[in-house]
Structure 1
Amino acid sequence: MLAGYRHIDTAEGYQNEAGVGQGIKAGLTAAGLARKDIFVTTKVWPGNAAWGDAPKTYEGIMAAFAKSLAALELDYLDLYLIHAPSGGTERLNEWRALVDLKSQGKIRAIGVSNFTEAHIDEIKAAGLPLPAANQIELHPWSQKPDLVAYLADNGVAPIAYSSLVPLSTWRAKDGQESAKTEEMKAAGAEAASPFKAMAAKYGVTEAQLLLRWGVQKGFAVLPKTMDPARMRENLDIFVFAIDANDMRAIETMDLGDGVAWPSGDPRHLG
C-alpha cells in the first residue's frame, strides 16, 4: 500500500488469505488509510469433478465465503469471483450463491474468472444477473479478441492476469511441463523479443510496456512481484503511451489461448 497500490487480489485456492488479511491490516495502519480506500478481491474455488474434487453446492459456496471473509478479517468484499467454470452441474447454483451474497450486502460486486462466452451465456439463459467482471489471462500473446468483444457487448469488465507471461519463465525449469508453445518460446527469446526494442523506444522496461498495453486496451491489470522496487516500477506506467503503430504491431502477435488455462484444460469441463 505504501507503494501506491489499492487493489489486493487473492483466492481461496492460493491458501494465503489469512496472511493477506494480516497484511491488509498492517498496511492500512502504516499508510494511514481506511478500509474504504482499498479494493479487495478474492476468489472461491468451485471444485472440479474431473480432479475428483466435488463441485461446491450453493451451501458450499456460502460456507467458503464465510471462511474467506473471516480469514481476511474483513466485514465485506469489494469483488468476489468464481475462480473457474469447473462447477459442472452446480455452476448455476454457485452463481446464485454469489448473487444472494451481493443482495445481502456482503459483497459489492460479483464476477467470474476463466469463463468463456458459453459459460456466461449459461448465466444469461438462466435469467440471472451477469458478472461484473471476468478475470482472464490477457497479454500480447493471448489477446482473446472474440471474448474481449463479447465481454464489452455484455457489460462485463475484463481483468487481466499473467500480463507479463512473455517475460516469464513460468514452468520452464527442468522437470516441469511448460504450457508455453515452441512459438511462444521463440517469440520471447532475448534476441528476438520485439518488446525490448519497443521498451527502449519509450525509455521504459519491457514489463512496463506490457502492463501499459493492457491499460491502453482498457483492462484492469494485476502485476505480481515480491520485489518492492519492481512494485513501484510496475505502477509507474502512466507517464508514457504506446503509439498507434506499435499498438497495431502488437495486435499481430496473438498466439492463442495462453499458458494458464488453455482450451481443453480439465478445469473448463462441463
Structure 2
Amino acid sequence: MKGNSMLMIERFPLNDDTAIPAVGFGTYLIAPGQTADAVSTAISVGYRHIDTAAVYDNETEVGQGVRAGLQQLGLARADIFLTTKLWPGYPGWGEKPKSGEETIAECRASLHRMGVEYVDLYLIHSPHGGSARVEQWQALVEIQRMGLARSIGVSNFNQGHLDELKSHGLPAPDANQIELHPWSQKPDLIAHMKEQGIAAIAYSSLAPMSTWRTQPGQESGKTETMKAEAGVLARMAQAYGVTEAQFLLKWGVQNGYAVLPKSLNAARMRQNLDLAGFSISHEDMQKIATMDRGPGIAWASGDPSLAS
C-alpha cells in the first residue's frame, strides 16, 4: 500500500464500476481559506472520499487540497473518491433552472475548478430545478457516458422526484444524498430507494449533537424538544467506549449509508474515520429506530418547494 498506513474503510457499491468509501470528508461550511489544508490533512490521516459542491464555493481549494494530499502520500488520482454537485438553479431565488446544455457546461466548470478530468460522483444538488429536473438528469446520464463522472446521482430528492425520472424511462440514480441521522430516518424513502437500487449517502449525520451548527450564521432547525434530548445518544455512545460522533456515524454506516463528517481538527478527523472497532447492538438499533423526529432539520428539509 502506498503512503502512510490507513484504516481499512468499508465501501458500498454504486454501480458495476464504482464503490464509495463508507466514511468521507465533508466540506460544507468550510471557508475557502481553510479548505485546502483541511482536505490535505484529511487525506493524510486516511480519508479517501472527499465531498464538495459548486454552491459551497470551495471547489478550487478542494482540488488544491486533493493534489497536496496525493503528492504528500505518493498516491494517484484514482486513489481518491471525489464528489461534487450541480446547483440546478432555483426560480424562488430569482435563478433560471439550468438546461441540459448548461448542466454539462457546469460539470466541466467544476472539473476545471478542481483541476481534475473526472469526478467519481456527480449529483444534482437539489430538486429546486422543477420542470428542468428531467432535462438535467438526462444531461447527467450524458455526463456519465462522456466519462466526466464515473457515477451519477441526486441529492435531497424525495420519492416523487425519483419516480418522475423513472416515468420518463431514464436510468435510476446511483445514489441520493439526503439528511439521515437518528432524528431523521426517512424509512419510506429509504425502502423506495432500495427497491430501485439507489444507494443512500447521509449528510448531517452529527445533527443530534449539541455542538452541531452552533456557530453564527450556521442555521439549525432543531426544536426545543430536540435540544432537550441532547445527551441521550451521547450516553449510549459512552456505553460503547466511543465518542458521540463515532456512535452517530456508525449508526449510518451500519445501516449501509456512506457518511460525510467534517472537522478541522486532525485528531477528530481520525476518530471519525475509526469506526471498525465496534458494532451497535440490535437492541440499541431498535431503540434508535423509535427516535425518528420527521423529515429533518438541515437547510432543505422545511422548503415546501421540494415537495413536488
Give the structure 1 partner of residue 178 of structure 2: 136
Letter aligned with residue 213 of structure 1: W
| Length-normalised TM-score, structure 1 | 0.94
Alignment size in residue pairs: 266
Q: Which amino acid aligns with 2:177?
A: Q
Report the equivalent of 1:5.
47
2: CA distance, partners of 1:46 / 1:176: 22
Aligned-partner Cα distance in 2 for 1:261–1:162: 10
Using the aligned pairs only, state the percent identity.
58
2:102 aligned with 1:64: no
Which residue in the other structure is 1:34 paired with?
A: 76
Superposed, which structure 2 residues align to 1:90-239 within 5 Å?
90-170=132-212, 172=214, 178-188=220-230, 193-239=231-277
The amino acid across from 2:250 in the alignment is R
Deviations 1:104-127 (A, max 9, x none): 111110000000000000000000
Matched AA of 2:249: L
Matched, 1:24 2:66: yes
Q: Deviations over 1:43-77 (max 9, x none)?
A: 01001001111111112111111110001100111
Residues 147-176 of structure 1, C-alpha deviations (whole Å, 9 max, x = no match) = 111111110000001000011445556787
What's the TM-score, normalizing by structure 2? 0.83
The answer to whether the 8 A contact 1:114-1:261 is kept is no
1:43 aligns with 2:85: yes
On the 8 A contact 2:210/2:227 being kept in 1, the answer is no
Other structure's SS at 1:167 match? coil
Is the aligned partner of 1:85 residue 2:135? no
Q: Which residue of 2 aligns with 1:257?
A: 295
Gaps of 5+ in 1: none
Change (3 A) 1:247 1:102: same
Rounded to whole Å, the distance in 2 between the matches of 1:172 and 1:115 is 27
| Aligned counterparts of 2:250 and 2:305: Cα–Cα separation in 1 | 30
Structure 2: distance between partners of 1:6 and 1:177 = 29
Cα displacement (A) at 1:178:
3.9
Q: Would you say the 8 A contact 1:134–1:159 is kept in 2?
A: yes
